[in-house]
Every structure is written in structure tokens, then in C-alpha cells.
Chains A and B, each alone.
Chain A
Amino acid sequence: MDGAKVTPGRTAGLYVGAAVLRLAIFTLLPGLPDLLTGRVEISTPVTSFKRLQEGLFLYNHNVSPYDGGVYHQAPLFLPLFSLLPSFASLPIFTYLLYIAVDLLSASALWKIADSGEAGSSALFTSSRREKRWSGFVIAAVFLFNPFTVATCIGRSTSVFTTCAILHAIAKAVAGAPLGAMVALSFASYLSMYPLLLLPPLVLLCYDRQRPERATKSSLQFAGICASIVAGVVAILFQMSYFITGSWEFLPSTYGVQLTLSDLAPNVGLWWYFFIEMFDSFRSFFLAVFWLHLSSYVGGLTVRIRRQPLVVMTLLLGIFAIFKPYPSISDTSLFLALVPLYRHVFPLMRYTFVSAAVIMYASFLGPAFYYLWIYAGSGNANFFYAITLVWGLGKSLLVCDLMFAVLRDEWEVERPEMAGKEIRQI
């Protein structure tokens, strides 16, 4: 499977297979999409398809989509979905859009995998890089991951962010800094948090520049990249302003994420804290939580300077745990990038434990949510406890991957220690 030759037929087969699977679920199980759309594990206040439809309805009736406080997503979604035939009468076009976005993400992932950036970056070459999975396998793992499929069926708008982030990385790896920055700007415009990926992405672009038009000065390069992002985001904001006619969308989209004003339960760790918290402490803890989330960026970027892709992978894992409104879509993005590090899998120590914990949590989560909301025999603590376990499983995986990558770096530095027992002091 590792070295299998990828023919165009197999590529097409994979994409067609993934598309058919999704179409089959959409058409054969007509109740499932709406069921999944309502699940808190898939739809958060900032990605829910139901809320998008509400916003769309208001928009089409010339009312500000942010009236009523239900819609918290980027304004540019509205013209996009208005262009599609109405969801109520012809849902197939919406389905096709979502399927296409998933396939686009997979193709970006494929490019990242085939570049070999995970095993050998500009500044670091792993001694284990020979052992890796082809882009076909990695794209297949992404496309047939149940979390990805569920997100697609639940029509969460986070798939657009996922697609933009993966394309940003793919462009960066291909040596196209401009494309990478534009893609990241789109991701940041849609969900805000991808902006935190800017430092490692700039480093990745810098490392992978094409030699013929390379910028030597790193500071100059970073400055250019940052101004591209700022420029593109500014243009997007201006377009949003023209569409909605006011700056109201800023507090309603990014403000909600920053202040966590919608406390609907989700699989993250924030909502329960802020439900329980006295109002006087709220702003302080908001600052603390956001600071915590963003503090990983600097540290990881500096520590694993030689492998910026690793930094982005780990950051995406951390965001999936500590974001204000995480969903399984963020986890599926992280899990899509993890197989790129096939070469360090032998160095990981808790794969089975973290996989088992994640699977246990993904079964117990819905059961406990049912006990809390429907059966009435449990309470909020049931569900929150299981989201803690879910977070634990993912943080185990993040830590384990980080350990494996650092160990791999260390073995290149000190080849005589390869395979020996080490102990942290």
C-alpha cells in the first residue's frame, strides 16, 4: 500500500467513491442530514447550517442577517448560498457544493502529502522519511474518516475553513506564498482562529520559496506576507460591508467568538466554564482563555522552527481542543494531517490509548447528551465530563505526536542514541 503506484484511474476512483458515499447518504437516508445538523458535536453556533439558513432567509428578505442574534457566520456565505437554487426545493446543489469542498480539501491534502514536506523540510531531513504513506492513502483516510463524512452530511460551514487552511498549506508547500496568504486570509475571514497559523505558515512559505524568485531577508518576507493577509482581509471586510450595508457583522461574527456570548453546549471546554462563572470574572477569564490558546503559537514556532508543517499540525490539534466553539470538524482536520507523520508513528507511545479514548468519547458523548437533554435522567455534568475525556484523548495525541517529532529531530542530531531508551529529566 505504501509504494503502490497511483494511476489516474485510482485517483478518480477515490474521488468518485467519496462523492458517491456522501451522495448516497444524502439521498438514501433523507432524515440523517437534518439529524446531524442538529447535533451539538457537529454544528456550533458559528458553523451551523440551520443558522445559515436563517441568515439566508433574512438576507433574501432584505433584513440584516444579524438581526435576531442567530446568525454568526461570515457575510460572504450569504451571496454564495443565494446563488445556489433554493435549498428547500433543490437541495441537491447544496449537497454537491459540500461534496466538492470536501474533494477540494482532499486534493490539497494529497499535494501536501506528495511534497514530502512532513519528512524532509528545508532545514531538517528525518532519517525515517522513507516510511510514508502516499497522497492517495492520506486523502482516502481524510475522505472516509467518519468525522469528515459526518461534518459534510451535517453541512457545517467549517468545511470551507478546512478547505482554505489545507489549500494555504498546499500552496505554501508548492512555493506559492501569495496563494498561501490569500487562502489563509479566506480561512481567517471565515473563522478568525486560522489567523493564529500565520507565523508558521510564513516560515513554511519562506522555507519553500522557489530559488529563482526568493526573498533573502526573512523580515522583509514576513512583512510582505503579513501585508498581503491584511490587504486581502481588508478587501473581504469591505465586500462584506457592501453586502450587509453596515459593520454590524464584525461584532456578530468575530465578537461572538471573542466574547463567547452564545453558550450553547459543544464538545469544547469553554461553555461549561462560562455558564458557571460569575459575570465579574467573565472578561478576565475570556482574556485568559484566549491568551492560553494563542500562547502555543509562539512557543511551538520557535521550538520546532525547522519543521513549520509540524507546528501547523500541532496547532490545529490544539485549536481543536481549546477553541471557543470546536466541533468534530476541527478534529477531522487535525486527524487528516496526522497520517503525514507516518514516519514517526513508531516513536509514538500512546497511539492505542489516545485512539481508544477518542473512540470511547465519541460513543459516550451522544449517549450522555441523550441522557441529559432527552431522557432527563442525566444532567449537564454528564456531557461536560465526556467532553473533558474527548479533550484528553486529543491532547494525548497532540503530546504524543510532539514527543515523536522531537525525538526524531534528536535522533538526527545524535544518531548514536537511535533506538535507546530516553528519560525526561
Chain B
Amino acid sequence: MLKLNLQRVVKYVDRLPLFTRLVIVLAVALEMAAVLPWWDIRAWGRLEPDLFNVWTLYRANTYPLIHTDVIHLIVNLFAVTPLVERFEAEYGTLTSLALFFGPLSLLPAVIYVGIERFLLRSNTSIMGASIWGFLLIGMEAIRAHRTTPYLVIRGQPTIPMWTTPIAVLLLTAVLMPGSSFLGHLCGLAVGYICGMGLIKLLAPPAWALRLVEDKLNLRLRVPYYVSMDQVAHGRFGVLPLTTVGAVPTSVLQLRRDPRILKLPPYLSLLCILVGAAWLFLLPLDRYSRRTYISENALLPGQVHTYFGGSDQNVFRAYKHEVNELVGKSNAEFNDKLEPIVKSLGLKTARQNFTYHAAGHTYSGENLYAILQAPRGDATEAIVLVAAWENVKHEVNRNGIPLALTLLRYFKRWSLWSKDIILLLTPDSIAGPQAWVDAYHDAHDTSRVASLPLKSGLLQGAIAIDYAQENRFESVHIVYDGVNGQLPNLDLINSIVNIAGGQMGIGTTLQEMWNHDNGYPDRLRTMLRGMLKQGLGLASGAHSSFIPYHVDAVTLRPFGEGWQDEMAMGRLVEGTFRSLNNLLEHLHQSFFFYLLMQRERFVSIGTYLPSAMLVAANFTIMAIALWMKSGQPATPVEGVTPKAKTETPTTTAERDLFLPLGVVTLIQSLSIIPLYLFNHAPESMLTPLFATFAVINTLLPPALSHLLTHSHTPITPQQYNLIQSFSLLLLGMFLSSLATLNFSLAMITGLLTSPLSFVRPAKTQTARWAVTGLLHAISPTAVLVAGAVCWGVDVTSVLREAAVGWHVCGTYSAVVVWCVWWPAWVAGSVVVLGGRGGGQGNKIKVV
């Protein structure tokens, strides 16, 4: 037995072709040469990433032939010899020579060096023929995959053939200490690519090789030579058992594979989970960045501020005047303040406005004055806003006198290159909105009067909200604009810089009074910011400016400290000096960002993927449901393995009219709540909401009843299509919205994400259970939950929404009623539409 084996081995070795012999001889010879004391052949020939350049390209040829020690050599030779022999027998000696001392060594080397040097940034040398071994195994595996795509275990095709080398790779990595996993992987990757047909491109042209072969008459002269014409089908014309169209067929088969339809729900779940998890990574140091000033012209905190001294007395005088006016009407305090401003030598004007929202009338009169720049040409202006009342309806007792004092002080300086406009409004939302609209001639003249006096392009606006009586500790910067638009980050950075660096005043964001810059506080700041952005309501007198591309913030002092009104004035002065420096509109820094601390932010590139992933999940499911609707209905639900291989070749005809009609109907119904909630008077809002909630509960069952009991009952395919269209629309709306208001898209996306996974329920109980769960995320339920959570009543939420809609043009209501609500109704109809109910009952009766 042993003798026989030995004979076979000898015979095998005796028949080894030329190139294989050459490899063995070279490898052994180099291993022996390694004992030479004066020449470290391993250091000379190995593939060392840092030393790899054009001059050391020889290493790309030598490293497979050099081994670390004798055992390495023996193991490798045993593994590689049969593979190389097989390769040579098929492709011929000359081709093997050209390939193995050319691309088949060079390509893995280049990939390895690339990864090692640029990705891992380390310098691990490799050597040994095993890289060829993995390369050849990879090629063999691809070829085997074409004939037998799956390893059959217990009668079921389970393991794809092409993955088998990966098992070998992992085994090697585990069993062989010191083997280079990455090196082997590079070899394997090149092997795969070659197996897929690249080798045809790599090999030298056949005619050239044939010429060499014929001219030198190699076939007869050289022993053990394998001619290239010995290969069965010419050279690479047709690889054995590979037809030209193999790839398209497999792609088509893949498309029909029923398993491919099992994948999308997991994929879309993954999208949602990654999207949500992404948010929670953002506050980490790795993902957020420190803020910095991009616009050089701002030079924040580089000037001395002189506000103070005798201005304190002026301030007290003005404050006295203002205190007299508390409780008086809008017209009265304008009558009182206008002469004061006029006496400073400024032009003043007034503007009337009237808004109607939620049955209330919001009217008043704005008073404004323009300080013409001594060094400007009235083409640019900065606005100082002081509202009589802030958003919480506290009287701005210190803010208005401070604004007047500042204006009087600014008037004395000759350095202004931009006009300064002082705007005094009766409230913080309607007044500034009316003024900005009229300033840009975008107002409805029936409700808002035009401005008699104008200046140049608005470059920035600062609103002072200083209702607190005592001295303050820090300044709260409010920066959210209408519809989640934000001012340029440079403005916020400048104020933080001036307040912190020059005045020693702390700054906070998003009502985070104590911020320790730890992960929880950063996350909380970010989430608060997102919530405010998502609601899209005006958060101060500055909010209305931002949609007109005027960067604006509100500054609100808070806390018990030792800073007085003059410090606040100096902060405004410093900011105005910075804005005064601007040569062009703020544009350098970010407009889309999430702030998590006054000095840390993430930009749109970092956070947008999370919303896009959430939106993408809907599109993925829409496509999957569309494909599913195209599959012919199978009589049995559980598909047997046999049925899996018999893939359907035709797609079923889809009946589109009913699903399109249903989705269009639901979508157009959404105008009703949008109109009602925006036009009902306040007293009607609560009863209306209650009625709507009841209708909302009844609507899906009613629709579902209508669909199932019409004369042509709805099919499961049509349910799939209804859901597909509804999810497609949802995904589309949300991805468009994500570019405009990231937070709103993200919040809506997360709240609607369960709609991707609802299916027609099979049993009565499941149906009602899922419907109940869906009700927990319906717009009405979320609205109530949100109101309870923040301790406000539903009426005031709805009133605020209506005011936002009519005054500021907030479109959050459109998103809730015309994007979220229709998707939710469609999802509920789908859940209720299980055919199980009707048929199940029938079976029971029978």
C-alpha cells in the first residue's frame, strides 16, 4: 500500500511541468541562500510596505519565493505545488511564467501595500508562496461556482461554492500563527477577480506567445514544457463550462430568487436602527467638531468697547420713561417713544399690521428708526430689535431702554459703515414678521402696511430680550428660525467669542442653564435643538428674519450674577462692530448644523445620512412591496425548497387603478384636517380635535370595510400596492424635507417607521392588536402625548400651530397632516385588510 503510494508520488513529481519545477527549485534555492551570513536575503526580498517603491519593484516578484523558515517553505510548497501545476497544465508554461512573475504577484502586492500603508498605517512585511496558493484557490472556487453553485448539505443547497476559500482563509488564520491574514486576503481577492475573467486581460497576447514558442521551438527543445495549444479550447476564448452570458443569467436568477424578497425588511430595519443610532453618536468627540470663525472679516472681540460710564445715566433715564409706559397701549408707548428717538436726530416711521389666526386678531404698530451710516451709502443695514413683550409675554423692561441707549451711543460714533435700524415691536412674533415681510415687499398689503422708510440690504439682526430686573450671570443665545432655518454659524460663534473671550460672560444654548460639556448634556442640547427645529415655530423676535436670509439671534440674559446692563450693551456693541466689518453677507460658515454645546457642532455632512437612511427605509420597502406584488399568487404560503428552485418566470399583471385611487383619496382627504385646524377659532379647537380623533379611529375600518365589501373585493396584491405607493410617497416627501428641515424629517421618519413593517394581519386578534399599537403612533395620539409631556393643553398647541401658519408661514402642520397622517391611514387600512378575517369566518361557518 505504502509502496504503491510512493510510486504514485514519484510519478507525480516526475511529471511536474517546467514552471512548477522552476518555482520549487527557486524557492528551495533562496531558502538555502538565506544561510549566507553577508546577505540577508529575507530582508532583501520580502514585501515591506514602507520600502515599496518603483526602485524596489523586484520585491513584488521575490516575496512569494522567500520564506521565513524551512517549515514555512515545506508547508507552502505542499499547498501550492498542485495548484500551480494545474494552472500550468491549463494555460501553458510561457503564460504561467508571464503571469506569475507579472500581475499575479504584483497585483496582490500593490493591494496589500496600499491597504497597509494608507488604511492601516502600519508596516508589516510578508513573504511566502501561500499568497499564490490563495490566489489560485480563489480562481478555482469561482470556476467551481459556475458548475456547482452550491455545496449540497443534506439535500439542500446551502453554502455558495465561492465562499469556500474564505473558510480556508479563516482556518489558516486561526491555525497558523504568524500568517498574514491580510496578505492572504489580497491574494484571494485577486484570485476572485481573475476567476471572473480578468485573467484574459492580464495575460500577454496569444500571438506573441505563439510566435516565441514557434521561433524557439520550445515544445521540442525544452523538457517538461507545456505548450499553450495543449489547452483544450484554445486559450481563453471559452473557459470550460462557462458560457458567454453566464453573468446576466445569474443576475436574472438572483432577481427572481424568492429569498431576495425576504431581505428588504431586514435591510430597512437596519436603515432605521443605524439612522437612529447615528444620532446618538454625534455628541461624541470623534463626530462633532469644535466651532471656529470662518469669516475673517468678523474679527470678533478685537475692538475696545466703550459703552458704559455716563451711558448708565442715560439708560436709567430711559428706563424710567419706559417703566411709566408699562400697561399702556401700543399706540401710547409709540407716541411716547417716537419723540425720544427723533430727539436723537434719527428718522423714524411706524407700521401697522393685523393678523387673524385661530379666531384672534393680532394687531399692533411697529416703530422703527434708521441711523444712517456716516461711512456708508445706505446699501447695507444691521437691525437691533427690541420687542415690548417677549415670547413668554414678559415686558422687556431693560431691553427697550438698553436698545435706546445703545442707539444714542452708536449715533456718536463715526465708524459705522452700515446703517443701523432700531426696531421696536409690540410683540415678539407678529410685529417682527410684519416688519420683515414689508421690508422685503413680500407682505399682503390688506393686513400689513408698507414701510414708508427703508434702508439697504439687511446683513444681520440682534434681538434683545432683557426682561429680568436684576443683574445677570450669562447670556442665552436663541437661534432657531421659522421652519427650522438657522442663522449662519459664524454669527453664533462671534457672539460666543465676544461674550466669553472679551467680556467674561458665559453663554448657553437651548435653555441648558448648566452645561458640563459631558455626553448627556451635549445629547440633551442637541435633542432640544432638534425638537425646536422640528416644530418650526418662531422662538423669538429674530426668527422671522432668518427665512429672508438675514442672520439673526435673540440674546437673553439670565441667572443671578454680577453682570449689569452695561455689560449686555457692550456685548451688543461688540457684535455690531463685528457685523459692521463684514465685506459681504455671512456665507463662509455653515447654515445647516446641530449645536451640542456652545463650542461644539456637527455639520450637515455628518448628520444628514441619519435622516436619509430613515427616509431610504421607506423607499426600500416600497420597491420590495412592488416586486412582491408582481409575483404570481402562490396557493400555499410555506414555500417548499423545490418550489424555490422553480422560480416564476413571469410577473403578474398589476391592477393599479384601485391602489392609486385609494392612495390619492387618502392624500387628498388630508387637506381637510389641515384646513380645519388652521381656520377654526380657538374655542372650537378642542371639540374639533376630539371629533377628529374619533373620526380618525373610525376611518381606517370604514375604508377597509368599503374596500373588502365592494362588488370586486380587493386582493392581497392590491394591498401590497397601496402600501407600496404610500411608502414611496412618504419616502419621497421625507427625503425632500430632510434637505430643508432635517429635524422635522427625522422625527416624522422615526414616528412613521413602523409603517414599513405592517402587513395585512391574518387573525382577528392580531388585526386589532396591531391597529391598537398603530394608534399609539397616530398624529393625534402623538399630539396629545406631546402636550401632556410638556404640560400644556392641546388647544394651545393647536393655537400656536395656527398662529405659526398664518403669521410666520410655518409648514410643520402640512407635514403632519399631509405627509404623516395619510401614510398612517394607509398603513392602518393595510393592517385591517387581512384576508384572514373574512375567509376565516367563512371556514368556521362551514
Chain B residues, Cβ within 8 Å of A375? 485, 549, 591, 740
User: What is the 8 Å Cβ interface bit string for chain B, positions 607-635, against chain A (1 contact, 0 not)?
Assistant: 00000000000010011001000000000
The answer to whether the Cβ of A211 comes within 8 Å of any Cβ in the partner chain is no
Q: Distance in Å from the Cβ of B461 to the closest Cβ of chain A?
A: 16
Contact yes or no, A367 B740, CB < 8 A: yes
Chain B residues, Cβ within 8 Å of A399? none
Contact yes or no, A376 B587, CB < 8 A: yes
Could you tell me which residues of chain A, from 384 to 425, have a CB within 8 Å of some CB in chain B? Answer: 419, 421, 423, 425
Chain A residues, Cβ within 8 Å of B839? none
Q: Distance in Å from the Cβ of A399 to the closest Cβ of chain B?
A: 17
Could you tell me which residues of chain B, from 722 to 748, have a CB within 8 Å of some CB in chain A? Answer: 728-729, 732-733, 735-737, 739-740
User: What is the 8 Å Cβ interface bit string for chain A, positions 41-81, against chain B (1 contact, 0 not)?
Assistant: 00000000000000000000000000000000000000000
The answer to whether the Cβ of A1 comes within 8 Å of any Cβ in the partner chain is yes
A419 CA to B245 CA, complexed, in Å: 19
The answer to whether the Cβ of B446 comes within 8 Å of any Cβ in the partner chain is no
- Contact size range, A: 20 to 34
Chain A residues, Cβ within 8 Å of B657? 1
A419 CA to B650 CA, complexed, in Å: 8
Partner of A363, one of B591, B650, B653, B732: B732
The answer to whether the Cβ of B414 comes within 8 Å of any Cβ in the partner chain is no
Contact yes or no, A346 B739, CB < 8 A: no
Contact yes or no, A374 B549, CB < 8 A: yes
A300 CA to B549 CA, complexed, in Å: 49
Contact yes or no, A359 B549, CB < 8 A: no
Number of interface residues of B (CB under 8 A): 29
Closest A residue by C-beta to B249: A423
Contact yes or no, B739 A363, CB < 8 A: no
Contact yes or no, B740 A370, CB < 8 A: yes
Could you tell me which residues of chain A, from 359 to 388, have a CB within 8 Å of some CB in chain B? Answer: 359-360, 363-364, 367-368, 370-371, 374-377
Contact yes or no, A360 B735, CB < 8 A: yes
The answer to whether the Cβ of A6 comes within 8 Å of any Cβ in the partner chain is no
The answer to whether the Cβ of A20 comes within 8 Å of any Cβ in the partner chain is no
The answer to whether the Cβ of A356 comes within 8 Å of any Cβ in the partner chain is yes
Chain A residues, Cβ within 8 Å of B736? 363-364, 367
A72 CA to B729 CA, complexed, in Å: 38
Contact yes or no, A421 B549, CB < 8 A: no
Contact yes or no, B245 A423, CB < 8 A: yes
A346 CA to B649 CA, complexed, in Å: 13
The answer to whether the Cβ of B592 comes within 8 Å of any Cβ in the partner chain is yes
Chain B residues, Cβ within 8 Å of A374? 549
The answer to whether the Cβ of B252 comes within 8 Å of any Cβ in the partner chain is yes
Chain B residues, Cβ within 8 Å of A281? none
Q: Distance in Å from the Cβ of A370 to the closest Cβ of chain B?
A: 7
Chain A residues, Cβ within 8 Å of B649? 419, 421
The answer to whether the Cβ of A278 comes within 8 Å of any Cβ in the partner chain is no
Q: Distance in Å from the Cβ of B331 to the closest Cβ of chain A?
A: 32
The answer to whether the Cβ of A284 comes within 8 Å of any Cβ in the partner chain is no
The answer to whether the Cβ of B309 comes within 8 Å of any Cβ in the partner chain is no
Contact yes or no, A376 B549, CB < 8 A: yes
A9 CA to B709 CA, complexed, in Å: 28
Chain B residues, Cβ within 8 Å of A367? 736-737, 739-740
A374 CA to B547 CA, complexed, in Å: 8
The answer to whether the Cβ of B37 comes within 8 Å of any Cβ in the partner chain is no
Chain A residues, Cβ within 8 Å of B591? 375-377
Chain B residues, Cβ within 8 Å of A376? 549, 585, 587, 591
A423 CA to B251 CA, complexed, in Å: 12
Contact yes or no, A421 B252, CB < 8 A: yes
Contact yes or no, B740 A371, CB < 8 A: yes
Could you tell me which residues of chain B, from 647 to 686, have a CB within 8 Å of some CB in chain A? Answer: 649-651, 653, 657
The answer to whether the Cβ of B638 comes within 8 Å of any Cβ in the partner chain is no
Closest A residue by C-beta to B248: A423
Contact yes or no, A346 B653, CB < 8 A: yes
Chain B residues, Cβ within 8 Å of A377? 591-592
Chain B residues, Cβ within 8 Å of A370? 740
A335 CA to B248 CA, complexed, in Å: 31
A183 CA to B248 CA, complexed, in Å: 47
A1 CA to B650 CA, complexed, in Å: 24
Partner of A356, one of B585, B619, B653: B619
A258 CA to B650 CA, complexed, in Å: 47
Chain A residues, Cβ within 8 Å of B737? 367
A146 CA to B316 CA, complexed, in Å: 62
Chain B residues, Cβ within 8 Å of A364? 735-736, 739
A376 CA to B481 CA, complexed, in Å: 15
Chain B residues, Cβ within 8 Å of A360? 732, 735
A371 CA to B245 CA, complexed, in Å: 46
A117 CA to B740 CA, complexed, in Å: 46
A360 CA to B591 CA, complexed, in Å: 24
User: What is the 8 Å Cβ interface bit string for chain A, positions 134-167, against chain B (1 contact, 0 not)?
Assistant: 0000000000000000000000000000000000
Partner of B728, one of A359, A368, A419, A421: A359
Could you tell me which residues of chain A, from 325 to 360, have a CB within 8 Å of some CB in chain B? Answer: 346, 352, 356, 359-360
Chain A residues, Cβ within 8 Å of B733? 363
Could you tell me which residues of chain B, from 233 to 257, have a CB within 8 Å of some CB in chain A? Answer: 244-245, 248-249, 252
A371 CA to B653 CA, complexed, in Å: 41
Closest B residue by C-beta to A31: B444
Chain A residues, Cβ within 8 Å of B245? 423, 425
Closest B residue by C-beta to A378: B739
Closest B residue by C-beta to A377: B591
Q: Distance in Å from the Cβ of B711 to the closest Cβ of chain A?
A: 14
Among B248, B585, B737, B739, the most chain A Cβ lie within 10 Å of the Cβ of B739
User: What is the 8 Å Cβ interface bit string for chain B, positions 210-254, against chain A (1 contact, 0 not)?
Assistant: 000000000000000000000000000000000011001100100
Chain A residues, Cβ within 8 Å of B248? 423
Q: Distance in Å from the Cβ of B566 to the closest Cβ of chain A?
A: 36
Contact yes or no, A356 B587, CB < 8 A: no
Chain B residues, Cβ within 8 Å of A1? 657
Q: Distance in Å from the Cβ of B83 to the closest Cβ of chain A?
A: 34
A375 CA to B732 CA, complexed, in Å: 21
Q: Distance in Å from the Cβ of B634 to the closest Cβ of chain A?
A: 19
Q: Distance in Å from the Cβ of A3 to the closest Cβ of chain B?
A: 14
A352 CA to B485 CA, complexed, in Å: 34
Contact yes or no, B587 A371, CB < 8 A: no
Chain A residues, Cβ within 8 Å of B740? 367, 370-371, 375
Q: Distance in Å from the Cβ of A24 to the closest Cβ of chain B?
A: 13
Closest A residue by C-beta to B592: A377
Closest A residue by C-beta to B740: A367
Closest B residue by C-beta to A370: B740
Chain A residues, Cβ within 8 Å of B252? 421
Q: Distance in Å from the Cβ of A35 to the closest Cβ of chain B?
A: 12
Chain A residues, Cβ within 8 Å of B729? 359
Chain B residues, Cβ within 8 Å of A425? 244-245
Q: Distance in Å from the Cβ of A290 to the closest Cβ of chain B?
A: 34
Q: Distance in Å from the Cβ of A28 to the closest Cβ of chain B?
A: 12
A363 CA to B615 CA, complexed, in Å: 14
Chain B residues, Cβ within 8 Å of A421? 252, 649
A385 CA to B731 CA, complexed, in Å: 19
A363 CA to B649 CA, complexed, in Å: 35
A370 CA to B244 CA, complexed, in Å: 49
Closest A residue by C-beta to B630: A352
Closest A residue by C-beta to B728: A356
A375 CA to B619 CA, complexed, in Å: 27
A351 CA to B249 CA, complexed, in Å: 21
Beyond known contacts A363-B736, A375-B549, A376-B585: 6 more, CB 8 A cutoff = A1-B657, A356-B732, A363-B733, A367-B740, A375-B740, A421-B252
Q: What would be 9 A-B contacts, judged by CB atoms less than 8 Å apart? A: A356-B619, A356-B732, A360-B732, A363-B732, A368-B739, A370-B740, A376-B587, A421-B252, A423-B245
| 5 residue pairs, one from A and one from B, having the closest CB atoms | A377-B591, A363-B736, A367-B736, A352-B626, A376-B549
Interface residues of B (CB under 8 A from A): 244-245, 248-249, 252, 485, 549, 585, 587, 591-592, 619, 622-623, 626, 649-651, 653, 657, 728-729, 732-733, 735-737, 739-740
Interface residues of A (CB under 8 A from B): 1, 346, 352, 356, 359-360, 363-364, 367-368, 370-371, 374-377, 419, 421, 423, 425
